[in-house]
Structure 1
Amino acid sequence: MDQIASEYSFLDSGTSIWSRGSATREWVAHTFTNENIDQIRNTALVTANPTSRWGLGHEAEPNWPEFLERFTRWDTVEPSDFCEFDEVWRYGPTNPFSGTVMPYAVTDRAIATWRETVADRMIVHYLPPHIPYGARALAENRPLNEVEKDPWSALKNGTARERVWDSYLEELAFGLESVETLIEDIDAEKIVITSDHGESFGEFGVYAHPMLPIPPLRKVPWVETSGQGRNEHTIHLEPDTVDDNLEEQVEEQLEMLGYR
C-alpha cells in the first residue's frame, strides 16, 4: 500500500495496525464473535470471500494448527446476526482465472447496500490482491503465465522477487480501482481501507498466508478517508437468493484460491 499510495488521492502511506488473523478464516473467527454481537447486529457485510460462509455459523470449523487452537475460541455469530449479509461471491460475475467474483461487482452491491440499509457500519470484503494474479492477463486478454498462476512456486524456483512483487502490486491496483468507485459514490464520514491479513513472500521461510502469527501476515495497512457522496453510480447487479449447491460453490472457490 505504501508503494502505490502516491497513485491514489485517497491513500496515505506509512500507517498500519496488527490484524487479528493471519488468514481470513482466522480473522473471521477472532472478529465476528458473540462478544461483538451488538456491533455486528448493526453491521452490513458485503463479501466476495466464501470464507465468510465457511467460517460463520460453525458450518466448517477449520483444522487449526495445534498451537493456534489454544488462542482461538470458536464462538462466531451466525450470518443472520448481521444487519445485512450479502454474499456477492455466490451470484456476481466471476474472474475467469480464479472463479471468484469481480471487485467491481462487490462495489456495485456495496453501494446498493449503503443506500438501502439501516446499518450503522458496513464491511466490504474484496479479494484482490490474492492468487492467482490475473490483473494484467485480464487487461491483455491472454492466459496466465506461470508466475501469475503460481507465484509461490515461482519464487521457490528462483524467479526474481521483483517480478512476482510487480504482479502482486498490479493485483492490488486492480482491487483499488473498485474501492475508488465506492469512495467516490457513497456519503460516509469515515472509511477505512485495511486488510484481514498480509502476505508472506518468503520471509521466515513462509509463502502465502498460512495461519502463523508472523509480522508479514499480521501487519496490515490502515488508511482513513471519507466518502465523496457523488451518488452517481447506477446499480447493475441484484442479489440472487437461490441457495442450490452452496457447499459445492464454496469448495470450488476455496480450491481455486489455494485453500484446498
Structure 2
Amino acid sequence: MDARSRLSRAIGTPVLFCRHANRLYHRRLGLRRCNAGGVDPFDADWDNLLVLDACRYDMFERRADLPGRLERRESRASTTVEFLRANVDGRDLADTVYVTANPQLHQHRESIEARFAAVVDVWRDDGWSDEHGTVLPETVTERALRAAEEHPNKRLVVHYMQPHYPFVGADADFDGGDFTDAEADEENVWVQLLQGRLDADRSDIWECYDANLDRALPHVEEAMRELGGKTVVTADHGNMVGERAFPIPFREWGHPRGVYTPELVDVPWLVYEDGPRRAISESTPGERDAAADDVVAERLRDLGYAE
C-alpha cells in the first residue's frame, strides 16, 4: 500500500486518521525518518546481538530471568522495517552475519541496502512452522549456533520472531475470533483491536503476549550460554497494548510505524559476558538466494504484517 492509499484509508477511518496525525507529530511532519533519540545498536561492543521482535522493556523486566546486567535503551524505530532502515541501510557490516526469523529485510531488499557478510533467512522452507504460522524460537537458536560454527570470526545478529504475533505460547479464544490463529483474518489482530472488531480484555491479551515471550526465553538463554563471548539481548521495537497514544490520546494497539511513545521505543539491553571474546574479521558479502514473492507475502500475512 502506497502513501496516498494509506492517507486515503486514514481519512475514511477516524482512529487511523488519529494515528496518522500522531505519526506526523512524532516524525516532525516527515523531517525525521526515525526516532532521533534512539541509540544505534550496531555501534555497541558485542559479539552476539539477540533481537526479540516487539519486546517492550517493561515486559522483559517483568518476565525475563536471564543472566547479565539489564538496562533500558531507546530504539530508533517502532517497526522492524524502520529498525533496519535506521541501523542497517547503506552500512558496511562485512564483519556481521544476520540470522533472522523475520522476512522484512528480504521483502525490502530493493530499498534497504544491507551489506552483511551473510544473511541466514530462517523463515524459508524447513525453518517455517506451518502449524504456528511463524518461526519457532528453538529453530532460530539452532540456526544461530550453526551460523556461529560456520562463521567463527563474525559478529552475530540473531533476530527472533517472538514475542511478536502470532501467539504460540498461549491458548485463548475471544469474541470475534481466535486470537492465536494466524489464519483467522488477513488483517492483523492489533488492527482488529484498534478498530473495535475484536472483543477482548487487555489482561487476556497481555497473558497471550507474555506467554509468547516466555516461550522464547529458554531458547534465548541457550543461545547466550552456547555462543559465548559478549552477548546483548535487546529488541527492535516495542508494542502498545491499549495504552493512550500521544499527542492525540486514543487507545493504541500494535506497533505503528513512525510513532515513538515509550511503549514503542523503550527496549531492553541485557549484557552478558561468558568466556573469551571472538576475534572478528571482515569478508566479502555473499550473494543471497531469491525467494518467491508469493512465499514472502504469505509469511508476512501469517506474522500479522498485512495492512
- Report the TM-score, using the length of structure 2 for normalisation: 0.64
Match of 2:237? Answer: 197
Tell me how many residue pairs correspond in the alignment.
216
Distance 1:111 1:228, change over 3 A: farther
What amino acid does structure 2 have at the position aligned with 1:206? Answer: E
Q: Is the 8 A contact 2:102 2:160 kept in 1?
A: yes
Match of 2:102? Answer: 49
- Report the TM-score, using the length of structure 1 for normalisation: 0.74
- Tell me whether 1:257 sits opposite 2:303 in the alignment: yes
* Distance in structure 2 (CA, Å) of the matches to 1:3 and 1:92: 33
Q: Is the 8 A contact 1:42 1:120 kept in 2?
A: yes
Match of 1:24? Answer: 80
- Tell me whether 1:122 sits opposite 2:168 in the alignment: no
Q: CA deviation at 1:202?
A: 1.6
Aligned to 2:120, the other structure's residue is in SS state strand
Q: CA deviation at 1:105?
A: 1.3
What amino acid does structure 2 have at the position aligned with 1:104? Answer: E
Q: CA deviation at 1:118?
A: 4.5
Say which structure, 1 or 2, has more relative contact order (CA 8 Å, 6+ apart): 2
Q: Is the 8 A contact 1:84 1:119 kept in 2?
A: no
Deviates more, 1:43-52 or 1:108-117: 108-117
- Write out aligned runs for 1:117-156 (5 A): 117-137=151-171, 146-149=178-181, 152=190, 153=192, 156=196
Identify the match of residue 4 of structure 1 among 63, 73, 78.
Answer: 63
What amino acid does structure 2 have at the position aligned with 1:220? Answer: V
Match of 1:220? Answer: 267
Q: Is the 8 A contact 1:151 1:164 kept in 2?
A: no
Q: Is the 8 A contact 2:95 2:154 kept in 1?
A: yes
* Distance in structure 1 (CA, Å) of the matches to 2:292 and 2:73: 34
Q: CA deviation at 1:56?
A: 2.9
What amino acid does structure 2 have at the position aligned with 1:148? Answer: T
Q: CA deviation at 1:242?
A: 6.8
Q: Is the 8 A contact 1:192 1:223 kept in 2?
A: yes
Q: CA deviation at 1:11?
A: 5.5
Structure with bigger strand share is 2
Q: Is the 8 A contact 2:169 2:212 kept in 1?
A: yes
* Distance in structure 2 (CA, Å) of the matches to 1:224 and 1:88: 25
Identify the match of residue 184 of structure 1 among 225, 245, 258.
Answer: 225
Aligned Cα RMSD in Å? 2.5
Q: Is the 8 A contact 2:68 2:273 kept in 1?
A: no
Q: Is the 8 A contact 1:98 1:257 kept in 2?
A: no
Aligned to 1:99, the other structure's residue is in SS state coil
What amino acid does structure 2 have at the position aligned with 1:222? Answer: W
* Distance in structure 2 (CA, Å) of the matches to 1:107 and 1:25: 22
Q: Is the 8 A contact 1:84 1:117 kept in 2?
A: no
Match of 1:90? Answer: 124
Deviates more, 1:19-28 or 1:158-167: 158-167
Q: CA deviation at 1:91?
A: 2.6
How many percent identity over aligned positions? 29
Aligned to 1:42, the other structure's residue is in SS state strand
What amino acid does structure 2 have at the position aligned with 1:160? Answer: D
Q: Is the 8 A contact 1:28 1:52 kept in 2?
A: yes
> Deviation digits for residues 54-82 of structure 1, max 9, x if unmatched?
12342xxxxxxxxxxxxxxxxx324xx21
